[in-house]
Amino acid sequence: TDNLVEGRNTSDGCTVCPAGFYCLQGVRGLRTPPKQCRAGTFGATEGLPNATCTGLCDVGHYCPATSVSATNQSCPLGTYNHRPGAASIAACQPCNAGSFADATGTETCTLCTNGTFQNESGATACHACHEGAYCTGGPPLPLARPGGRSPPPLRAMRRRRGRRVAV
């Protein structure tokens, strides 16, 4: 017998297939052990009769095999997942530079707003724009103000015909 997965017994002595699994006709047989709801799906109730289980895992989340909720595991801070049916944390992608995700289970990242920037991927917030620069939101680095100077850490230099030129 299969002692790894327990289910509720019915009045006629059959065992109902447990949540997170499915069984033909929703009931375990002696020779038909329950089958796991595959990764990317979930089985919220007992007695599920087929491999579609209850449905796909929600966006912003992922569901390992035998999950019982569409939001079983949330994508971590700084990541997002815009597709339903994710099977593992690998589906949670880091937010691009210029955006952030400050909550778990995020479907999309939020662009930095005017006056802020973010130059790293996987961020949970944006930084305030530095003095002498302006930030339009979205671009990963502050821009030099016309007639102003960018702060030293953000200022790139290169040589052009023997002279150092700010870029």
Query: Residue 35 carries which DSSP code?
Result: E
153: left (phi over 0), alpha (psi -120 to 50) or beta: alpha
Residue 165: its pLDDT value, please? Answer: 42
Residue 16: its pLDDT value, please? Answer: 85
The continuous run of DSSP H or E covering 97 comes out as none
Q: What would the two tokens of residue 22 be?
A: 């499915």
The CA distance from 132 to 62, in Å, is 43
Residue 3: its pLDDT value, please? Answer: 38
Global pTM value: 0.74
Residue 127: its pLDDT value, please? Answer: 92
10-residue averages of pLDDT along the chain (167 residues): 46 76 75 89 93 96 97 97 97 96 97 91 93 77 63 42 45
Residue 54: its pLDDT value, please? Answer: 96
Residue 95: its pLDDT value, please? Answer: 97
Q: Phi then psi for 37, rounded to 5 degrees? A: -65, 125
CA-derived radius of gyration, the chain:
26
The CA distance from 151 to 128, in Å, is 13
Residue 139: its pLDDT value, please? Answer: 66
